[in-house]
């Protein structure tokens, strides 16, 4: 059953709750827009290991951008190159049109929130927040005002004279946030900022961070391995793999139109069926897979041709599961038996086993409190889907 | 560097709690703990407290010609007549210490010498410890072994070796003459300078190790955070690294200062007639003057003076956990 739990699909994002202004925020689609951050053919090698390879990425002002990927994909290295803790082996990192190469971290107008928070243990909350302002030689009264403002922002005023060790994990996280925001950086870098928080607090904090980013009008670049977190918060996501970017796009694009099997599998739950392209007509292909025939869309610009191996990727919530055979059981329909059932409250996940042994995952939303005839184990079912429910990708 | 490359694995899944130990196991471990903690206490009681009480007893007696060279107070056989004996106690040895300026002078001189050598040792040891703590991880164990390697040779022999180095025609003078830095050999041996050199050299590892321990445990991310917030490396050292290493610095200073105050061998071998140290005075009282009561009084005063720093050390260890010791 554990495999089922992991395969829980991401509910399709319905856009952000921040109104129409936010929904139309898409500077990356505007060719006239100048990016705030640019990685230009950036590589970083540690000995013989290439952490980042010839990577290009542009991030725009006021964007909430997420670097998403598994451990060791180079996302933290990318962040650290922007902060100045690592120098690129080759390529250029630019901020606001100026190169950052060779500029030490203490001279860069970006601030970072560390995964471990890295709060100064010998300083009070107040002194921690004030630290960056002091380095700039800001006047004492101005500093005090800014610290007060920051502590108010993160609701930590009653704890101003405590030491970090006297705070809870969530409070420490907010001190780290206040400290990294105090200098009003051009870009805030967040390295797995919520990793140490429990699930409930993490979800609350995600929304707090989004509101903060909106109200301060800052550019946020966050590193995370949690796709749910990336999808919740980010305007755009860069899915990374082995030092390269596998896909950049809005959460919707990455989820609904993954550019590769890797992206499809990394972001959300997915069913993968391998087969061969039997026929291609425009953006529609006919794919023969063991146990059936699939007709589905290919992404724009796909080079799949007749005879080439391909996979069909479809999200579990886009499969319909029913007892009765569809009208045309020859195409986009598979017969199987219910192998596992996971009731999750808001939805139920079914693992259906095809005659060939493949498992297909289907999710149904439990819109009603009780179903008249719930599907049971080992029941014979039909799994069907629309031609635009999934995508055909190169193997 | 590989540690920087690795991506954080995120929140680790909660591990299952270890199996609770059975009742027998707890009983076992409790009695084992009593044994482990108790044995050193018995040891200290027999070999520290009892001798100290003997010294205290001698310090309260009067000088006598004979063997032992003092009038016994509290002979164990007459423990019954306690009150009577109490009246016979003599504090004149302690009063004598204030009469003769020799004792006060050598005490002050010892404290000054110990303080100066502690500061010198700190100045030498801090960069040393910092270098150790920042050295590549695979080199550190070897560097640590090198740091304590001198302990494999007898302390006495190492101090004798310094006599060879510091002599007028010793290695140091030969080197300086050869380099043309001096025309005349420097007179270092049998001066206070030689004593300082000897103490700093001998006690350096006691300074290095606790400072190293406190530096090594510091999260390197703290320095990154300082840099990120605009603090250049030199400033970040004073704002972050140094304050966080203070418990180690304090522990190291006390570990050097406390034994240096009572040091005898180094001033005896490397010092000259001008060198006045309480350890040497103590030795002279015991073995040259054979005035055991006064010598014991000096020893007791020295110990009482060092109780303060010792308590401080205890605290510093508590907070610094001077792990390397």
What's the confidence (pLDDT) of residue B318? 65
Interface test with A, best of B5, B231, B237, B320 (most A CBs within 10 A): B5
Class of B100-324 per CATH?
mainly alpha
CB B236 within 8 A of CB B224: no
Cross-chain Cβ contact A70/B7 below 8 Å: yes
Whether A26 shows a pLDDT value over 80: the answer reads: yes
* Of A372, A382, A64, A111, the residue nearest A234 (C-alpha): A64
Interface test with B, best of A118, A169, A187 (most B CBs within 10 A): A118
As a whole number of angstroms, the distance between CA B141 and CA B97 comes to 48
Interface test with B, best of A43, A45, A84, A105 (most B CBs within 10 A): A105
CA distances (Å), B68 to each of A86, A333, B48, B71, in order? 73, 109, 21, 8
Residue ranges of domains in chain A, CATH in brackets: 27-259 (3.40.50.300), 269-394 (2.40.50.140)
% of chain A beyond a pLDDT of 70 = 94
Collect all residues of chain A within an 8 Å Cβ-Cβ radius of residue B4: 46, 76-77, 80, 85-86
What's the confidence (pLDDT) of residue B28? 66
What's the confidence (pLDDT) of residue B321? 45
Tens of pLDDT along A367-394?
Answer: 888 777 788 888 899 999 988 888 888 8
What's the confidence (pLDDT) of residue B77? 57
Tens of pLDDT along A305-353?
Answer: 888 889 999 999 999 998 888 888 888 999 899 999 999 988 999 999 9
A266-274 average pLDDT score:
91
Higher pLDDT residue, B323 or B96?
B96
- Domain residue ranges in chain B: 48-90, 100-324
CB A221 within 8 A of CB A65: yes
Cross-chain Cβ contact B230/A115 below 8 Å: no
Instruction: Search chain B and give the residue with CA nearest A131.
Output: B229
Chain A neighbours among B 38-57 (CB < 8 Å)?
A: none
Collect all residues of chain A within an 8 Å Cβ-Cβ radius of residue B11: 195-196
The partner residue sitting opposite B5, judged by closest CB among A69, A72, A180, is A72
As a whole number of angstroms, the distance between CA A365 and CA A235 comes to 26
Cross-chain Cβ contact B226/A51 below 8 Å: no
Cross-chain Cβ contact B10/A85 below 8 Å: no
% of chain B beyond a pLDDT of 70 = 82
* Of A181, A165, A185, A57, the residue nearest A110 (C-alpha): A185
* Of A375, A306, A380, A390, the residue nearest A341 (C-alpha): A375
Cross-chain Cβ contact A71/B221 below 8 Å: no
Whether B18 shows a pLDDT value over 70: the answer reads: no
What's the confidence (pLDDT) of residue A328? 82
Whether A225 shows a pLDDT value over 60: the answer reads: yes
Residue B239 touches partner A, C-beta closer than 8 Å: yes
Residue B243 touches partner A, C-beta closer than 8 Å: yes
The partner residue sitting opposite B224, judged by closest CB among A72, A75, A118, is A118
Residue B72 touches partner A, C-beta closer than 8 Å: no
CB A49 within 8 A of CB B5: yes
Residue B234 touches partner A, C-beta closer than 8 Å: no
Whether B1 shows a pLDDT value over 50: the answer reads: no
Collect all residues of chain A within an 8 Å Cβ-Cβ radius of residue B220: none
DSSP A37: E
Distance from CA of B11 to the nearest CA of A (A): 5
Tens of pLDDT along A130-179?
Answer: 999 999 999 999 999 999 999 999 999 999 999 999 999 999 999 999 99
Cross-chain Cβ contact A226/B10 below 8 Å: yes
Distance from CA of B319 to the nearest CA of A (A): 13
Cross-chain Cβ contact B229/A114 below 8 Å: no
Query: Could you tell me whether strands A271-281 and A284-289 are parallel, antiparallel, or unpaired per DSSP bridges?
Result: antiparallel
The residue behind tokens 């500077």 is A27
Sheet holding A37-46, edge to edge: A49-59, A37-46, A90-95, A98-99
B179-183 average pLDDT score:
89
CB A154 within 8 A of CB A148: no
Residue B220 touches partner A, C-beta closer than 8 Å: no
Catalogue the E-assigned strands of chain A.
37-46, 49-59, 64-68, 90-95, 98-99, 110-113, 187-191, 219-224, 236-241, 244-249, 271-281, 284-289, 292-297, 309-314, 320-322, 333-343, 347-353, 359-365, 380-384, 390-394
Tens of pLDDT along B37-80?
Answer: 888 889 888 888 888 898 888 888 887 766 677 776 666 655 55
Cross-chain Cβ contact A77/B240 below 8 Å: no
Tens of pLDDT along A29-77?
Answer: 888 999 999 999 999 999 999 999 999 999 999 999 999 999 989 999 9
Cross-chain Cβ contact B7/A116 below 8 Å: no
The partner residue sitting opposite B228, judged by closest CB among A46, A83, A121, is A83
B154-178 average pLDDT score:
92
Instruction: Search chain A and give the residue with CA nearest B242.
Output: A122
Whether B200 shows a pLDDT value over 50: the answer reads: yes
Lowest mean pLDDT among A23-37, A242-256, B229-243: A23-37
Place A11 in a pLDDT band, splitting at 50, 70 and 90: very low
Lowest mean pLDDT among A87-96, B99-108, B203-212: B99-108
């Amino acid at each position: 059953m554990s495999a089922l739990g992991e395969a829980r699909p991401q509910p399709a994002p319905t856009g952000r709750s921040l109104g129409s202004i936010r929904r139309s925020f898409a500077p990356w689609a505007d060719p006239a827009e100048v990016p705030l951050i640019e990685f230009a053919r950036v590589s970083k090698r540690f000995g013989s290991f290439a952490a980042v390879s010839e990577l290009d990425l542009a991030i725009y002002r006021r964007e909430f951008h997420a670097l998403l990927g598994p451990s060791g994909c180079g996302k933290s290295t990318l962040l650290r190159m922007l902060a100045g803790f690592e120098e690129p082996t080759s390529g250029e990192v630019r901020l606001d049109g100026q190169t950052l190469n060779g500029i030490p971290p203490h001279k860069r107008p970006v601030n970072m929130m560390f995964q471990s928070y890295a709060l100064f243990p010998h300083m009070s909350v107040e002194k921690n927040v004030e630290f960056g302002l002091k380095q700039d030689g800001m006047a004492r009264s101005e500093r005090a005002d800014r610290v007060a403002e920051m502590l108010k922002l993160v609701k930590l005023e009653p704890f101003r004279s405590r030491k970090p060790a006297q705070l809870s994990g969530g409070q420490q996280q907010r001190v780290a946030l206040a400290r990294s925001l105090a200098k009003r950086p051009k870009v805030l870098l967040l390295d797995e900022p919520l990793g140490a928080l429990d699930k409930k607090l993490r979800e609350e904090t995600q929304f707090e961070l989004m509101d903060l980013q909106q109200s301060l009008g800052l550019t946020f670049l966050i590193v995370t391995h949690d796709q749910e977190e990336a999808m919740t918060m980010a305007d755009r996501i860069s899915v990374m793999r082995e030092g390269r970017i596998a896909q950049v796009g809005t959460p919707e694009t990455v989820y609904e139109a993954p550019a590769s099997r890797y992206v499809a599998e990394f972001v959300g739950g997915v069913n993968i069926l391998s087969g061969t392209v039997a026929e291609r007509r425009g953006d529609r292909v006919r794919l023969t897979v063991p146990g059936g025939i699939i007709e589905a869309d290919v992404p724009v610009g796909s080079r799949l041709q007749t005879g080439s191996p391909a996979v069909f990727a479809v999200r579990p919530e886009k499969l319909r599961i029913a007892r009765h055979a569809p009208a045309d059981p020859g195409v986009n329909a598979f017969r199987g038996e219910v192998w596992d059932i996971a009731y999750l409250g808001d939805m139920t996940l079914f693992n259906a086993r095809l005659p060939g042994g493949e498992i297909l995952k289907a999710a149904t939303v439990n819109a009603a409190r009780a179903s008249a005839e719930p599907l049971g184990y080992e029941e014979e079912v039909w799994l069907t889907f629309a031609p635009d429910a999934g995508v055909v990708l190169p193997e | 560097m590989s540690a920087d490359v690795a991506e954080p694995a995120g929140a680790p899944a909660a591990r299952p709690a270890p199996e609770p130990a059975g009742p027998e196991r707890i009983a076992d471990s409790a009695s084992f703990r009593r044994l482990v903690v108790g044995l050193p206490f018995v040891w200290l009681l027999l070999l520290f407290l009892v001798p100290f009480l003997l010294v205290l007893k001698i310090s309260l007696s009067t000088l006598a010609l004979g063997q032992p060279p003092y009038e016994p107070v509290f002979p164990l056989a007459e423990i019954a007549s306690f009150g009577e004996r109490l009246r016979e106690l003599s504090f004149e040895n302690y009063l004598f210490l204030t009469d003769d300026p020799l004792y006060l002078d050598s005490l002050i001189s010892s404290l000054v010498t110990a303080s100066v050598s502690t500061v010198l040792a700190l100045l030498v040891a801090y960069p040393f410890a910092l270098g150790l703590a920042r050295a590549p991880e695979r080199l550190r164990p070897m560097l640590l072994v090198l740091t304590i390697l001198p302990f494999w040779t007898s302390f006495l022999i190492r101090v004798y070796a310094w006599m060879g180095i510091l002599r007028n025609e010793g290695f140091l003078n030969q080197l300086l003459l050869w380099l043309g830095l001096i025309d005349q050999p420097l007179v270092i041996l049998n001066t206070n300078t030689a004593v300082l050199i000897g103490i700093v050299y001998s006690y350096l590892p006691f300074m290095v190790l606790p400072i190293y321990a406190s530096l090594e445990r510091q999260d390197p991310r703290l320095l990154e955070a300082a840099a990120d917030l605009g603090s250049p490396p030199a400033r970040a050292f004073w704002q972050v690294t140094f304050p966080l290493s203070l418990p180690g610095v304090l522990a190291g200073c006390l570990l050097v200062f406390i034994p240096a105050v009572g040091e005898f061998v180094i001033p005896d071998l490397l010092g000259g007639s001008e060198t006045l140290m309480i350890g040497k005075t103590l030795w002279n009282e015991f073995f040259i003057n054979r005035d055991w009561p006064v010598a014991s009084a000096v020893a007791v005063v020295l110990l009482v003076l060092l109780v303060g720093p010792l308590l401080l050390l205890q605290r510093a260890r508590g907070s610094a956990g001077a792990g390397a010791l």
